[in-house]
Structure 1
Amino acid sequence: HVKTVERIIGFRSGTGGSSGASFLRQALDLTFFPELFAVRTGLTSK
């Protein structure tokens, strides 16, 4: 998705005033609902 945004809008501001592709790149490091990741990890490690 990040590459698509870079190709379409370049490095201009994104919708909603975000910083566009750089915002998406930074969002890759965010983890939402870490509890769900922990449960998934527990289920797949068996």
Structure 2
Amino acid sequence: LKLLKMAKGIRALLDTVMQALPQVGNLGLLFFLLFFIFAALGVELFGRL
């Protein structure tokens, strides 16, 4: 009985993680774009130092 309750909790946790994955992907893409923009800007500004 205890194992069944634990399995339900793990199942709920996994379902929540699976529902959150698209938002995490969007956030990762946003961070990548910001990082790429700042990297290109840094190379342009400080490339000849």
Same fold (TM > 0.5): no
Provide TM-score, normalisation by structure 2: 0.30
Provide TM-score, normalisation by structure 1: 0.32
